């Protein structure tokens, strides 16, 4: 049985805090001994990134990883096994340099954690960057992995979320700039020759937040195209790629924050509206294999012939080809909004408990948010957990609002494709 998100949060608090208290003096003592024999500043050569739980963050950190790579560092990455595929979209990190932890059971979690601590030393990792926002588990991994330089976010004079003394370079997390810029500030701290308190006293230009595009395999592109055409034909729909537009609707969001979901009924109404405005176009309702029933309910209620249940029809590796073939996608604030950014696909992303100012897609995206006084209600300071059980922030987003933005993105797609 897999470990629930709330269980992991509880472990991080009730086990993480005392462990940080016990481990911190040991880490400080070892650092003190190392500093006696230190030769001063040495640029990172083998740099490990730790980001366990968010698949979207594996895309958002890519500009920072390429920045470090351009400075001569060999890259390594630690991620939960279930999220590993997100690193394959751009292949910035070599497959053999990706380490995983199985979070599906407590036994697997403990076993893989201990295995990682051995592997990190075997690879002689000299620098580690903790990308997580104040997770005690990743703080412990950072402190115990044997790296000489350890960079991450530190709370300084803030209250709560104490993580001990695992870091050698403490970075101020700025909740007023996009997360990609926060990640880039970690790279500055890793390569800075002088210590700053706090890091990083630099200006990060918007031009630095540039995402590479996925390399699309023509064979995979053709395979996905044929699958769409066959599914359409079996449903009695005439669809020719390029002649009609392809619209993606992604109605679900991960269990990490269910408050991010726009209601199933709203997605059904949106599909009806899209068909009314664009009757010739094909609508694919997407999702993972596990989301098939959720997607099917949206499709059945919409009752639109040109809307097909496409959940589980493509593998994770086939998402970039699917997005390349498509014209526009609407999605809750979740992984697909970030995965699509490595392709030309235009998106409309719906935000509620989080804010696009921090977590907006860096692709061809339009964000919609109700801007309620209580929103965003999740942040680094509360483990991204909200007491809200009535997501008015998502309910306030209307079908007409989304239709308008979808129409804009479709017109932009038509113009780009000279259609």
200 and 264 in one domain? no
In a domain, 71, yes or no: yes
The answer to whether residues 47 and 74 touch, using CB atoms and an 8 Å cutoff, is yes
Within this chain, do residues 198 and 333 fall inside the same structural domain, yes or no? no
CA distances for 11 relative to 60, 161, 162, angstroms: 27, 13, 14
Within a domain: residue 110? yes
Q: Which long-range contacts (CB under 8 A, 24 or more apart) does 388-393 make?
A: 388/259, 388/353, 391/259, 391/260, 391/261, 391/352, 391/353, 393/259, 393/351, 393/352, 393/353, 393/369
Residue 33 has pLDDT above 70, yes or no: yes
CA atoms of 27 and 143, how far apart (whole Å)? 7
**Predicted pLDDT at 257:** 84
Q: Is residue 109 part of a domain?
A: yes
120 and 256, same domain (yes or no): no
CA atoms within a 13 Å half-sphere pointing along the CA-CB vector of 57: 20
277 shares its domain with 234: yes
Confidence at 223, pLDDT banded by 50, 70, 90: very high
CATH, residue 232: 3.40.50.2000
Same domain, 173 and 271: no
pLDDT interval class at 2 (50, 70, 90): low
Q: What's the pTM?
A: 0.94
- Tell me: pLDDT of 379 over 90: no
In a domain, 340, yes or no: yes
- Calculate ∠ Cα 254-255-256, nearest 5°: 90
Domain end (from 176, 208, 240): 208
Do residues 56 and 106 both lie within one domain? yes
Q: What is the pLDDT of residue 419?
A: 77
Mean pLDDT over residues 49-60, rounded?
A: 92
Helices (H) and strands (E) in the chain, counts: 15, 12
Average model confidence (pLDDT) for the chain? 94
d(CA 5, CA 229): 38
What would the two tokens of residue 398 be?
A: 């209307």
pLDDT for 102-136, tens place per residue? 999 999 999 999 999 999 999 999 999 999 988 99
Same domain, 316 and 192: no
Fill in the DSSP letter of residue 354.
S
Query: Both 316 and 366 in a single domain?
Result: yes
Strands (E) in 45-92, as ranges, are 46-50, 74-80
Joined together, the tokens standing for residue 36 give 């006696």
Q: Is 65 exposed, middle or buried (0-12, 13-18, 19+ CB in 10 A)?
A: buried
Dihedral-angle region of residue 236 (phi above 0 means left; psi in -120 to 50 means alpha; beta otherwise): left
Same domain (yes/no): 41, 162: yes
Q: What is the pLDDT of residue 243?
A: 86
What is the structure's pLDDT at 290?
92
| Residues 128 and 192 occupy one common structural domain | yes
List the alpha helices (DSSP H) in 152-217: 179-191
Which string of DSSP letters, residue by residue, matches 285-351?
A: E---GGGHHHHHHHHHHHT-TTEEE-TTSS-GGGHHHHHHH-SEEEEESSHHHHHGGGSS-EEEEEE
Indicate whether 213 belongs to any domain: no
**Token pair 């996608």 in the structure block, residue:** 329
Residue 149's SS3 state is strand
> Domain for residue 327, yes or no?
yes
- What pLDDT does 155 receive? 87
Nearest Cα neighbor of 183 from 366, 49, 307 is: 49
Euclidean distance between CA atoms 324 and 303, whole angstroms: 27
Residues 58 and 198 grouped into a single domain: yes
Residue 254 pLDDT exceeds 80: no
Which residue, 314, 249, 245, is CA-closest to 285? 249
Mean pLDDT within 209-217:
94
For the chain, the domain total comes to 2
Q: What is the CB neighbour count within 10 angstroms for residue 148? A: 16
Identify whether residues 89 and 227 lie together within a single domain: no
Does residue 92 lie in a domain region? yes
Structural domain that includes position 314: 218-416
Within a domain: 26: yes
Domain boundary among the residues 141, 173, 208 is at 208
pLDDT tens digits for 149-190?
999 999 888 777 889 999 999 999 999 999 999 999 999 999
Contact at 8 Å (CB) between 374 and 209?
no
Adjacent-strand bridge partners of 171: 153, 199
End-to-end CA distance of the chain: 50
Q: Is 237 exposed, middle or buried (0-12, 13-18, 19+ CB in 10 A)?
A: middle
- Pick from 208, 243, 273: which residue ends a domain? 208
């Amino acid at each position: 049985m897999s470990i629930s998100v709330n269980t992991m949060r509880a472990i991080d608090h009730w086990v993480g805090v005392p462990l940080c208290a016990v481990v911190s003096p040991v880490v400080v003592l070892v650092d003190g001994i190392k500093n006696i024999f230190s030769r001063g500043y040495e640029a990172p050569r083998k740099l490990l990134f730790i980001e366990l739980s968010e698949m979207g963050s594996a895309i958002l950190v890519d500009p920072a990883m390429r920045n470090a790579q351009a400075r001569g560092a060999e890259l390594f990455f630690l991620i939960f096994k279930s999220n590993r595929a997100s690193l394959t979209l751009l292949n910035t990190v070599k497959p053999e340099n990706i380490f995983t932890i199985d979070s599906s059971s407590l036994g697997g979690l403990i076993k893989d954690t201990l295995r990682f601590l051995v592997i990190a030393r075997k690879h002689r990792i000299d620098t580690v960057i903790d990308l997580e926002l104040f997770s005690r588990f990743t703080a412990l991994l950072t402190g115990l992995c044997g790296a000489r330089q350890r960079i991450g976010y530190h709370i300084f004079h803030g209250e709560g979320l104490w993580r001990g003394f695992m870091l050698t370079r403490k970075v101020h997390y700025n909740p007023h700039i996009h997360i990609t810029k926060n990640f880039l500030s970690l790279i500055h701290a890793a390569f800075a020759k002088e210590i700053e308190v706090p890091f990083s006293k630099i200006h990060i230009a918007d031009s630095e937040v540039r995402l590479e595009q996925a390399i699309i395999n023509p064979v995979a592109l053709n395979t996905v195209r044929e699958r769409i055409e066959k599914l359409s034909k079996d449903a009695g729909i005439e669809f020719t790629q390029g002649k009609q537009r392809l619209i993606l609707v992604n109605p679900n969001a991960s269990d990490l924050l269910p408050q991010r979901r726009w209601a199933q009924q709203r997605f059904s109404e949106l599909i009806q509206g899209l068909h009314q405005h664009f009757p010739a176009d094909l609508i694919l309702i997407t999702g993972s294999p596990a989301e098939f029933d959720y997607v099917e309910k949206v499709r059945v209620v919409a009752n639109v012939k040109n809307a097909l249940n496409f959940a589980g029809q493509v593998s994770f590796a086939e998402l970039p080809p699917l997005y390349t073939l498509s014209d526009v996608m609407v999605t809750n604030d979740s992984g697909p909004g970030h995965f699509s950014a490595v392709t030309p696909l235009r998106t409309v992303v719906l935000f509620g408990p989080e804010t696009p100012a921090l977590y907006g897609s860096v692709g061809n995206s339009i964000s919609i948010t109700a801007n309620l006084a209580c929103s965003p209600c999740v942040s680094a300071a509360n483990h991204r957990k909200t007491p809200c059980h009535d997501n008015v922030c998502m309910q306030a987003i209307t079908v007409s609002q989304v239709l308008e933005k979808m129409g804009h993105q479709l017109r932009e797609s038509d113009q780009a494709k000279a259609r």
